[in-house]
A and B are shown apart, each in its own frame.
Chain A
Amino acid sequence: MDDLWGGFLKALELIYTFDPEVMEIAGRSLYIGLSSITIGSVICIPIAALIHFNQFRGKRLLVSLIQTFYSVPTVVVGLFVFVMVSNAGPFGGLGILFTPVAIVVGQVLLITPILLGLIISALRGVDVTILDTARSMGAGRWQMATLVIKEARFSVMAAVIMGFGRAISEVGISLMVGGNIRNTTRVMTTAISLETGKGDLEFALALGMILIFLALVVNIVMNRIQQR
Chain B
Amino acid sequence: MALIELRNIDQTREAKDILKDINISIDRGEVFAMIGPTGAGKTTLLRIIDLLDIPSRGRIYYDGVDVATSEKARLKLRRRMAFVLQKPVVFNTSVYDNVAYGLKWRGMNTQQIREKVNAILESTQLTEYAKRNARTLSGGEMQRVAIARAVATDPEVLLLDEPSANLDPVSAGKIEDILTGIIKQRDVTVVMATHDMAQGQRLADRIGVLVNGEIVQVGRSNDIFFSPTNREVAEFVGMENIIDGVVVANEGEMTTIDVNGTVIEAVTGYSPGEDVSVCVRPEDVTVALARLSSSARNSLAGTITRAASSGPLCRVEIDCGFSLVALVTRRSAEEMGLVKGTQVFATFKVVSIHIIRRR
A associates with B? yes
Secondary structure of the B contact surface, majority rule: mixed
Q: Which of A45-103 contact B (CB under 8 A)?
A: none
Query: A147 contacts B101, CB within 8 Å?
Result: yes
For the complex, what is the distance from the CA of A139 to the CA of B149, rounded to whole Å?
Answer: 13
Q: Which residue of B lies closest to A139 (CB)?
A: B105
- B202, CB-defined interface residue at 8 Å: no
Q: Is A39 an interface residue (CB 8 A)?
A: no
Q: How far is the CB of B233 from chain A (nearest CB, A)?
A: 29
A76 and B234 CA atoms in complex are apart in Å by: 73
Q: Pick from A129, A138, A140, A150: contact of B87, CB below 8 A.
A: A129
Which one, B19-27, B89-97, B163-171, B341-349, is touching chain A? B89-97
Residues in B whose Cβ lies below 8 Å from that of A147: 91, 101
**Alpha-carbon distance between A113 and B132 when the two chains are bound, in angstroms:** 36
Chain A residue nearest in CB terms to B87: A129
Pairwise interchain contact A138-B93, C-beta atoms closer than 8 A:
no
Q: Once the chains are docked, how many angstroms separate the CA of A120 from the CA of B274?
A: 63
Are B85 and A138 in contact, with the CB atoms below 8 A? no
Alpha-carbon distance between A143 and B106 when the two chains are bound, in angstroms: 10
List A89-134 residues whose CB lies under 8 Å from chain B.
127, 129-130, 132-134
Binds A, one of B73-81, B288-296, B298-306: B73-81
Are A129 and B153 closer than 8 Å at their CB atoms? no
Chain A residues with Cβ below 8 Å from B92 are: 150-151, 153
> What residues on A are CB-neighbors of B159 within 8 Å?
136
| Residues of chain B contacted by A140 (CB below 8 angstroms) | 75, 105
Chain A residues lying within 8 Å of B75, measured Cβ to Cβ, are 138, 140
Asked if B198 CB lies within 8 Å of chain A CBs, one says: no
For chain B, the count of residues having a C-beta within 8 Å of the partner chain is 24
Q: How far is the CA of A127 from the CA of B89 in the complex (A)?
A: 9
B52 at the interface (CB under 8 A from A): yes
Smallest CB-CB separation from A144: which chain B residue? Answer: B105
A79 → chain B closest CB, angstroms: 43
Evaluate whether A135 and B78 lie within 8 angstroms (CB atoms) in the complex, with A130-B89, A150-B93 already known: yes
Question: With an 8 A cutoff between CB atoms, is B214 at the interface?
Answer: no
Name the A residues within 8 Å of B93 (CB-CB): 150
Contact A136 B82, CB 8 Å, known A129-B89, A150-B93: yes
**Are B105 and A135 in contact, with the CB atoms below 8 A?**
no
Check A136–B105 contact: CB distance below 8 A: no
Pairwise interchain contact A137-B52, C-beta atoms closer than 8 A? no
Residues of B within 8 A of A153 (CB): 92
Q: How far is B157's CA from A136's CA once the two chains are assembled, in angstroms?
A: 12
B101 CB contacts on chain A under 8 angstroms: 134, 137, 139, 147
Contact yes or no, A137 B82, CB < 8 A: yes
- Give the shortest distance, in Å, between B46 (CB) and chain A (any CB): 10
Tell me, in angstroms, the Cα distance from A138 to B107 when the chains sit together.
12
Q: What count of chain A residues pass the 8 Å CB interface test?
A: 17
For B149, the chain A residues whose CB sits under 8 A away are 137
Docked pose: A127 CA to B135 CA in angstroms: 13
Q: Mark B134-175, 1 if CB is under 8 A from A, else 0.
A: 000000000000100110010000010000000000000000
Which of the residues A127, A130, A137, A151 comes within 8 Å of B105, measured between beta carbons? A137
Query: B265 an interface residue at 8 Å Cβ cutoff?
Result: no
Could you say which of A127, A129, A136, A138 contacts B106, with CB atoms under 8 Å apart? A138
Which residues from chain A contact B50 at a C-beta distance below 8 Å? Answer: 136
Rounded to whole Å, the gap between the CB of A128 and the closest CB of chain B is: 10
B102 contacts A by Cβ under 8 Å: yes
Q: Tell which of B78, B85, B105 touches A129, judged by Cβ atoms closer than 8 Å.
A: B85
Query: Within the complex, what minimum Cβ distance (angstroms) separates A134 from chain B?
Result: 8
B83 at the interface (CB under 8 A from A): yes
Q: How far is the CA of A143 from the CA of B75 in the complex (A)?
A: 12
Return B342 CB to nearest CB of chain A, in Å. 53
Which residues of chain B have C-beta atoms less than 8 A from A130's C-beta?
89, 91
Please encode chain B, from 92 to 114, with 1 for each CB lying within 8 Å of some chain A CB and 0 for all others: 11000000011001100000000
Chain A residue at smallest Cβ distance from B103: A137
A137:B153 contact, CB within 8 angstroms: yes
Given A138-B79, A138-B153, is A132 in contact with B102 using a C-beta cutoff of 8 Å?
no
In chain B between 38 and 71, which residues have their CB closer than 8 angstroms to a CB of chain A?
47, 50, 52
CB distance from A6 to the nearest CB of B (A): 51
Decide: A138 and B105 in contact? CB cutoff 8 A: yes
Asked if A136 and B87 make an inter-chain contact with CB atoms under 8 angstroms apart, the answer reads no
State A137–B158 Cα separation when bound (angstroms): 11
Q: Which residues of B contact A137 (CB under 8 A)?
A: 82-83, 101-102, 105, 149-150, 153
What separation, in Å, do the CA atoms of A132 and B91 have in the docked complex? Answer: 12
29 contacts between A and B (CB under 8 A): A127-B89, A129-B87, A132-B52, A132-B89, A133-B83, A133-B85, A133-B89, A133-B91, A136-B50, A136-B78, A136-B81, A136-B82, A136-B83, A136-B159, A137-B82, A137-B101, A138-B75, A138-B79, A138-B153, A139-B101, A140-B75, A140-B105, A143-B105, A147-B91, A147-B101, A150-B91, A150-B92, A150-B93, A151-B92
